[in-house]
Amino acid sequence: MDDVRVLIIDDEKVIRDGVERSLSGRNFQIEKAGNGEDGIAMIEADGFDIVLLDLMMPGIDGFGVLEWIKEHKPQVEVIVITGFATVSKAVSAMKEGAFDFVGKPFTPDYIRIVVDRAVAKLQLEQETRQLREERILTLEAIQNEQSMLKTVFGCMVEAVLITDPHSVVVHHNPAAIKMLDIQTDPVIGKPIADSITERDVVQMVHEAIDKRHVVSREFAPGTVSRRYLKAHCAPVISKGSDRGNVLGSVVTFEDVSTHKEIDRMKSDFVAMVAHELKSPLASIEQMIYALQVNCEYEALSNCSKLHGRMTVRTRDLLRLIENLLNLSKLESGTVVFSLERTNGHEIIEDILEVAKPQAEAKHIDMKFQPCSDDWWFSIDYDHMRTAIMNIVSNAIKYTPEGGHIVISTSISGGFANLVFKDSGIGIAKDDLPHIFDRFYRVKGKQTRHITGSGLGLSLVKEVVEAHQGYIDVSSNPDSGTVFTLSFPVADSTELVH
C-alpha cells in the first residue's frame, strides 16, 4: 500500500519527533499535532490512514479523540501511545476500537512493527473492498447478461428446445409452442418424446448426445408441424476434462416453408419453360438432318457447314434443356430411381465407346485402366450414364488437341472409386468452390470458344449424392484436372429391386 498517511498526536515534542524518525524512509506521509483539538481538525480536513495517539493529553485527551475518530472516521486505524504505568488504559482504548498500543519508552523497531501490522490490515481491508466491488459488478453483469439472453431467447422466431443428457426438456422459448405440434402441457420436465411424437426428432436428440456431434434433419408438413421445418440439434459439452461431459442438447427448428415454396415455383417454371422449348428444338434438329440427308447438293454447298453448326448449337440447347429438366426433377424429389445392379466397368466402357469419336476428332489419347476386381453397384442406369458422360465430355472439351485422358477404378473401404484424370487447361483455385453451382462457368481466354451451359457438373453432383456417393475434384491451371466419383459397392448377394 503506497503513500500511507500517518498522523502523530502527542503533547510531547520529543515523542512526536521520535516517532517521525522511526518511520522515516518508509514511504509514509507523516504529519504531527500537539493536542487533541488540532489532531481532530487535521483528520477532518485531510483524512489519514493511521493515527498514533497519546492517551494522556491536556484538553481533549486520547479517549476523546478516539471516540471522535470511531464516530466520524471509522476506517482510520488508531495506535495508542502510553506509558507502561497506564497499560490498563491502553487496553481500555483497544476495547473501544484502537488497533494496538505502544508503550513508552519505545524502540524504533517496535513502533515500525506495530505500524506495519496496521498497514497490512489496511491493505487487506482495501483488497476485500475491491473484491466485494468486483463481485457486485460481476453479479450485475451476469444479471444484465441473463436478462439480455432471456430477451433474445424470447424474441427468436426459431423454435428452441433445450434438454438435459436424458432428453428431458429443461427450457423452451415461446416460438416452440407456436411452431411445433406439442402434445403435452407443460413441456418442461418431461422427455421430449412425450411432447413431440415424431420419432426422427427423438432419434436426432439421442444421436447428438450419444455421438457428440451436430445432427440436421428436414421435416415435411404434417410430421412435426404444419410447416416445412429444418432442424439442427447440437450437444452441450462442458469444459474441464479431455472430452468433457455432455450436459444436454439444444434443438432449433427453422421454418423454411417459404424457401421451399419458392424452390417449388422455380422448379415448376423451369420445367414448364424446358418442356415448351424442347419440342420445337427437336423438330428443328430433325428438319436440319432431313436437309442434310435428302439434298443431293448438300455436301457441295456452302450451306453444309452452316447446317452443321446449326445442328451443334441445337443439340447444345437440347442438352441444356435436358439438364434443366433433370435438375428440376432431382431437386423437387419427383424422380423415381429404378435401381438395378450394374457392372461398373461395363457402364464405363459403354460411355467411352460413345465418347471415342469426340476424343479422336481432337487426337486425344483416352485410356481406361480398370482395377483387377470386378465390381457392381446399384444405380439408375440412365441417370448414372448421363452423369458419367458429362464428366468424360468435359474432360474431352477442356483438354487441348493431342492431350490425354486416363480413367481408372479402384475398390477401398466398401466404395468403388472412379477417377477421371485429364491433361486439360485445369481450374483456378478461386473457381474450384463454385464449379458445381448452377450456370457457373470458368471464364478466361482458354474457355472463350468452348460451349456449355454450366449445368453439367450440377447435375453430376445431384446424381452422385442421390446414389449415396460423393464427388471430389483437384486441379491446377495448365496441368489438368482430376475428378473422383465414389459409390458404395453392391454386395454380391444384393437383390435387384
- CATH of residue 29's domain is 3.40.50.2300
- Residue 415 in grid coordinates: 466404395
Clarify whether residues 266 and 203 are in a common domain.
no
Clarify whether residues 350 and 480 are in a common domain.
yes
Q: Is residue 207 part of a domain?
A: yes
Q: Is residue 22 part of a domain?
A: yes
- What is the per-residue pLDDT for 25? 79
- What is the per-residue pLDDT for 497? 39
Scan for cell 435436358, then name that residue.
322
Q: Which residues of 356-395 are buried (b: 16+ CB within 10 A; e: fewer)?
A: eeebeeeebebeeeeeeeebbbbbbeebbbbbbbbbbbbb
Q: Helix, strand or coil for residue 230?
A: strand
Assign residue 183 the CATH number of its domain.
Answer: 3.30.450.20
- What is the per-residue pLDDT for 306? 58
Give the integer Cα–Cα distance in Å for 333 and 469. 17
Q: Helix, strand or coil for residue 96?
A: coil
- What is the per-residue pLDDT for 383? 85
H or E element in which residue 288 lies? helix 257-294
Assign residue 374 the CATH number of its domain.
Answer: 3.30.565.10
Q: Is residue 443 part of a domain?
A: yes
Clarify whether residues 384 and 452 are in a common domain.
yes
Count Cβ atoms below 10 Å from residue 36 Cβ, excluding itself.
Answer: 23
- What is the per-residue pLDDT for 450? 62
Clarify whether residues 248 and 264 are in a common domain.
no
Pairing verdict, β 215-219 and 339-343? unpaired
- What is the per-residue pLDDT for 274? 63
Clarify whether residues 229 and 308 are in a common domain.
no
Q: Is residue 285 part of a domain?
A: yes
One digit per residue, the tens of pLDDT, for the chain of length 497 reads: 567 889 999 988 988 888 888 888 778 888 899 898 998 999 888 878 899 998 888 888 888 988 998 888 888 889 988 875 567 887 888 888 888 888 877 888 888 888 888 888 888 888 888 887 777 666 666 566 666 667 767 777 888 889 999 989 988 888 888 888 777 778 888 898 888 888 899 999 999 999 888 999 999 888 888 888 999 999 988 876 556 788 899 999 998 888 877 777 666 666 666 665 666 667 666 666 666 665 555 555 556 565 666 666 666 666 666 666 666 666 666 566 678 899 999 999 999 998 898 899 889 999 999 999 889 999 988 889 989 998 998 899 889 899 999 999 999 988 999 999 999 888 888 888 888 887 677 766 666 566 555 677 888 888 898 888 999 999 988 789 999 999 999 875 444 43
Give the integer Cα–Cα distance in Å for 61 and 36. 6
Clarify whether residues 378 and 457 are in a common domain.
yes
Q: Which residues of 242-269 are buried (b: 16+ CB within 10 A; e: fewer)?
A: eeeebebbbbbbbbbeeebeeeeeebee
Q: Which residues contact 470 (CB under 8 A, 6 or more apart)?
A: 464, 486
Clarify whether residues 352 and 484 are in a common domain.
yes
Q: Domain range for residue 295? A: 260-332
Q: What are phi and psi of 49, to 5 degrees?
A: -90, -45
- What is the per-residue pLDDT for 472? 93
Q: Is residue 83 part of a domain?
A: yes
Give the integer Cα–Cα distance in Å for 482 and 421. 4
Q: Is residue 270 part of a domain?
A: yes
Question: Domain end: 299, 332, 365, which one?
Answer: 332
Do residues 9 and 33 touch, judged by C-beta distance below 8 A? yes
Question: Domain end: 312, 332, 352, which one?
Answer: 332
Give the integer Cα–Cα distance in Å for 469 and 382. 16
Q: Is residue 494 part of a domain?
A: no
Number of structural domains (the chain) is 4
Q: Is residue 186 part of a domain?
A: yes
Answer whether 0.95 is exceeded by the pTM: no
Q: Which residues contact 193 (CB under 8 A, 6 or more apart)?
A: 167, 202
290: left (phi over 0), alpha (psi -120 to 50) or beta: alpha
Do residues 167 and 191 touch, judged by C-beta distance below 8 A? yes
Clarify whether residues 353 and 478 are in a common domain.
yes
Clarify whether residues 269 and 365 are in a common domain.
no
Clarify whether residues 345 and 484 are in a common domain.
yes
Clarify whether residues 75 and 183 are in a common domain.
no
Clarify whether residues 420 and 305 are in a common domain.
no
Q: Which residues contact 482 (CB under 8 A, 6 or more apart)?
A: 419, 420, 421, 422, 473, 474, 475
